[in-house]
Structure 1
């Protein structure tokens, strides 16, 4: 068999690699029993089957169709056509020059026909599907003689997780080949991928980045999708190229491990529409600039809406718990039954949970509503200061007017003045052509919430004080004052009195803001943790929230929650996704980072308050004392003891099915390797669980995939797990 050794190759692919790609494809076709002179299978799908295929791929077609029309404008009059196929190689849609489309129809390059290699031999569509990379097949590089009048450039289309969606192809008369065609096809495929990503992940946080800021917003920008827990969920191909990662490697990273930041920091940075690009640094020192995109309304921290389902819980019935939820998208619904929806209270009533401290805060807040008394809310980050401010607004006469929140810490100092007071056209370089109204004017008639007021620059504090005194604001670049009627609520985690002593905060502004000071307690000091946790789950799983197991709730009670309700919401959001389809959340569904934090806290507490030697339980590790499963891989046993192994080495903590396993007394010294000890421990857990992989994974605190993988690696050659 002779193979045409053309010098034509796809961009970024050398001639040798291209020739090798075509050779391997021809060999596959021969192995499939295809011959170069046979008449290909030209039978298209029945109309009903084609309609079904188009319906299954409706989103792909929706995003691809306008891009195909745009591409057609670039290649019009070149005797060519544009083809879109699904992931199986079936043509879904075509556009092109009419006379060439008619000619291509003679070789069944038309909707409903399959162009995978097993059907049409070597061709750009089928070979791109197999190789999963852009592919050029020119003239007699086609395996079948009937197709050798074509030159075809195809590029696969992937979703953000790297799954194949389909192929975009430009086919033309081989005499009209142009080297730029492949570049246009690749760019168009990436455009479709970016449209898909932005649409499919609209309610997820997305970072658009590049090392050069002028490329942000172009096809060269990288895009990564971030979950509420900071995990990287997917990316476009430009992001993978710039980061030098595969899709799988990227999904094993978090926002913190890869870029050195957190979801909360990103949200705070981009809360202002005037925020500058954020600087991101990779572990190797490379730097990028990034902008953030998402439906910011869904990201706003808010309470569970009225009408959410009630929760199954063993805690005595009390009023609904206050929550602070970063809602970046619905979690997968759990399968546990729920009670019928009930009407939940709104406003301050929603915050009444039975916790004495929260009850005192609510009662004080009620007394100053509609009294024109400013409110200052103090508390650690994540305690729900904005939620309280919004509840006060909802219960006031201003409830139907705007509630405008401004995070003074997230807006660059150079822009916060324009953000608050607005500006006229030409007020500063980069200003919008028609100017912009400030947040104070936007809040007219309603409530202005100044979050992190302690981070406001001193010069702006003077201007804000004047606005609060005179009830009018003058935009930058304007000589005209605008009257405003606003209720003002401030909030901060800082000690403003100490800042006043250091000259960092104006005393007159402090006394203007603190008509009533309310301090929100941190979550570790509240008595309503169980109710808050269940309400967060109700928000995450509106179709049926899983219960929180007793051992997990015990861990929650021991945690000091430095991130307060916001941290609790992130932990539960991840757990709800991991527990999808299961009736309750167990330790196996919790993030490893959280479990490590609990272990670290337990070790610190033990170091700070050591028990007398006689009072310490024998051979009970800290993990077991905290109710945590042992971590894998297992550390070597101390001298004089043996590693854990065998069914006798385990006893349920607290008893009962599903309880985590704690090691019993140390067995005799063993010469087994660490890998053998791990396998023995897994096998013992499986025996104790009656062979139930899911139950064993819960008891060990590892995933089912880990159990499958380790047992597979341990399988003898030719054996079965």
Structure 2
């Protein structure tokens, strides 16, 4: 690729279509990198496709993967599909008056859900490209927004002739990544329109919904965690803009989403007090209330936070009646090297509540907001002869 003969600072083009056409001419015919004419993500994708010896003048087939691979992917992505179910339904309603369709892919770029229902009069490619099991990875179909996002784990917009292959150039797409609890790419959410450019900020819309799906997925994957929601105003705690962080029973920051990392000024993960400026017992105490609490951070920023227990059986928000910070602190403190899990913390909360209610299971369950069966399970655990001391 030639790096000499730079483009003029402001090359003349009358429209987006003309700009992209000029960028393709410069890149594919003249060997000049069209920086500033198309995004860097698109240029790098074009380069990868050329390196793979793909001919941009050839049509590309949007084919599903094998049935066995498709069924395997659907099975492996059940948590992602569940986390996205409500948002995909909302997206279908939101996009109903537009020419756009929402697509959810797995981390490899295979479609696992779509809002496409029926082709519009001008649509020829959409019924093919939105099928469950179609592989939209860059290796399979060249430069597309979901393919680039699956490759880079970053948001991407690809419009018209920015698509690598000619028969895909009638498409317009915008994609955003969805990350899992380990910070790895779990999938991508994409908005696609055939023939008609977006009449709205598709990048913002898809980013909003992808963030909400990601937050739901993070919470679903959190087991034995104290989940902390945070933002600069309490009105944002139940929106996709909420920062989320997961804290283990020994007071270690285990995961956080992008919003939380930015608010905390996170460089590396450490203990609760280093990031939040308060001991774990304080956050545990706040989990007994649905009300948000103001929290001055060590970085000087004051946030509003709300805390919530998560456990393997999906329970949320279990807390003892009238807990005291000192008692809560004691409930999680053990000798070094023998840290108590959140399950054990929950057990002690139930034991304390039972004591306060004279052993009455029904009153204890009502006070804690849990089922009597849950209380009985802890009682059986106490009675088991092999229960660890």
TM range (shorter): 0.7 to 0.9
Counterpart position of 2:108: 88
Match of 1:53 among 58, 64, 73: 73
Aligned 8 A contact 2:286 2:306 in 1: no
Q: Considering only CA atoms, is the larger Rg found in Structure 1 or Structure 2?
A: 1
What residue ranges of structure 2 are gaps of 5+ in the alignment?
Answer: 2-6, 8-16, 22-34, 310-315, 329-337, 370-384
Correspondence 1:164 to 2:185: yes
Identify the match of residue 43 of structure 2 among 14, 23, 26.
23
Alignment size in residue pairs: 324
Q: State the shift of 1:173 in Å.
A: 2.1
2:253 aligned with 1:232: yes
Matches within 5 A, 1:596-675: none
Tell me which moved more, 140-149 or 44-53.
44-53
- C-alpha distance in 1, partners of 2:259/2:199? 24
Q: Note the C-alpha offset of 1:254.
A: 1.7
| Structure 1 residue ranges without an equivalent (≥5) | 8-14, 303-323, 331-381, 405-436, 443-534, 540-721
**CA 1:113 to 1:261, structure 2 compared with 1: closer, same or farther past 3 Å?**
same
What do residues 579-607 of structure 1 show as CA deviations (whole Å, max 9, x unaligned)?
A: xxxxxxxxxxxxxxxxxxxxxxxxxxxxx
Tell me which of 282, 304, 318 is aligned to 1:289. Answer: 304
256, 259, 268: which is aligned to 2:285? 268
* C-alpha distance in structure 2 between counterparts of 1:216 and 1:65, whole Å: 21
Alpha-carbon RMSD across the aligned residues, in angstroms, is 3.7
Separation in structure 2 between the aligned mates of residue 4 and residue 148 of structure 1, nearest angstrom: 13
CA contact (8 A) 1:124 1:135 kept: yes
Question: Residue 216 of structure 2 corresponds to which residue in structure 1?
Answer: 195
Separation in 2, partners of 1:537, 1:5: 70
| Alignment partner of 1:74 out of 74, 86, 94 | 94
Assess, with a 3 A threshold, how the Cα gap between structure 1 residues 270 and 147 changes in structure 2: closer, same or farther.
Answer: same
Residues 234-243 or 25-34, more deviating: 234-243
1:234-270: CA deviation from partner (whole Å, max 9, x where unpaired): 112221232343xxx44x2221111111221212234
**1:220 equivalent in structure 2:** 241
Change (3 A) 1:393 1:283: closer
- 1:292 Cα offset (Å): 0.9
- The residue aligned with 2:380 is none
TM-score by length of 2: 0.72
Question: Take 1:262 and 1:24, find their aligned partners in 2: how far apart are those partners?
Answer: 46
TM-aligned CA distance change 1:178 to 1:389, over 3 Å: closer
**Equivalent residue, structure 2, for 1:144:** 165
Partner-residue secondary structure (3-state), 2:115: strand
TM-score if structure 1 supplies the norm length?
Answer: 0.41
Q: Name the counterpart of 2:342.
A: 328
Query: Which residue matches 2:363?
Result: 402
Name whichever of 293-302 and 111-120 sits farther off.
293-302
Matching residue within 272, 280, 292 for 2:295: 280
8 Å CA contact 2:118, 2:127 repeated in 1: no
Does the aligned pair in 2 maintain the 1:104–1:110 contact within 8 Å?
Answer: no
Asked if structure 2 preserves the Cα contact closer than 8 Å seen for 1:5 and 1:19, the reply is: no
2: CA distance between counterparts of 1:102 and 1:45? 23
Question: 1:254-301 CA distances to partner (integer Å, 9 max, x unpaired)?
Answer: 211111112212122343x36x53332333212212111222337899
Provide, for residues 418-439 of structure 1, a one-character-per-residue CA deviation record: whole Å limited to 9, x for no partner: xxxxxxxxxxxxxxxxxxx9x7
CA drift of 1:392 comes to 5.4
Moved over 3 A (4+): 1-7, 15-18, 105-109, 298-302, 324-327, 384-394, 398-401, 535-539
| Structure ranking higher on relative contact order (CA contacts 8 Å, 6+ apart) | 2
Aligned-pair CA distance for 1:170: 0.8
Mapped pair 1:254 → 2:274: no
| 1:391 Cα offset (Å) | 7.2
- Give the 3 Å change call, closer, same or farther, for CA 291–38 of structure 1 in structure 2: same
Kept in 2: contact 1:206–1:293 (CA 8 A): yes
Counterpart residue number, 1:714: none
Residue 403 to residue 64, structure 1, CA distance change in 2 (3 Å): closer
